[in-house]
Chains A and B, each alone.
Chain A
């Protein structure tokens, strides 16, 4: 069974631009969570989607948004990029249970550099 895949793996953008990252969960998994990982703040929860609906949300500004499609694939969008948005963005999936209650599998991440 294929694992969680994320595209692209690397991305360079400039301040003010927007970016869209994609995540394909493990086949049969319906919950997708997004995390931001930086050296200073560690792993921070962005949001979780289940059945095309946002089920939970972290403490990030509205510039960070996401969505989930009927095939469970998910995208996250960051608008008006800032230098501080440079990070590794990780996606993780579960069959349907909430992260922490059910084993969550991570993708390899998308490394975003904002110049």
Chain B
């Protein structure tokens, strides 16, 4: 099925570093969502974006809805060990009634 192009696939960083990941699509999206999934658990919603250009923060996390409506990015500042996990972007296209997901970015933090 259709999926979003999410990059990078994995990241290995030092504690305290900033992190940036992004998602792109060939289609225009009306909604962009960012989720985090811990091992053995379901995804948990981090940030939801509903308007082109929208920039939203949730603590150390910041996400933006691209102006072209075909991309979104997520930044994590000053990473800490509990940020480890898999981050997924998801979106819904105009007129569509379901979410499509990116392949995920696996974040590993070296203490």
A residues bordering B, Cβ < 8 Å? 4, 33, 41-45, 48, 55-56, 58-59, 90, 92, 98-101, 103-109
Q: Is the CB of B43 within 8 A of A59?
A: no
Interface string of B73-111 (1 = CB under 8 A from A): 000000000000000101110001111111110000000
| Closest B residue, CB atoms, query A6 | B42
Query: Which residues does chain B contribute within 8 Å of A100, judged by CB atoms?
Result: 30-31, 33, 90-92, 96-99
A99 touches B99 (CB 8 A): yes
Instruction: For B92, list chain A residues within 8 Å (CB).
Output: 98-101
Residues of B contacting A4 in the complex (Cβ-Cβ under 8 angstroms): 42
In the complex, what distance in Å separates the CA atom of A4 from the CA atom of B43? 12
Do B98 and A99 have beta carbons less than 8 Å apart?
Answer: yes
CB within 8 Å for A43 and B88 given contacts A56-B97, A58-B98, A59-B1: yes
- 9 new A-B contacts, CB < 8 A, other than A43-B101, A59-B1, A109-B42, are A41-B1, A42-B102, A43-B43, A99-B97, A100-B33, A100-B90, A100-B96, A105-B45, A109-B41
Q: Is B40 an interface residue (CB 8 A)?
A: yes
Complex Cα–Cα for A108 and B100 (A)? 19
Check: B21 CB closer than 8 A to any chain A CB.
no
14 contacts between A and B (CB under 8 A): A42-B103, A43-B88, A43-B90, A43-B101, A44-B1, A44-B101, A90-B42, A99-B92, A99-B97, A103-B48, A104-B45, A104-B99, A106-B35, A108-B41
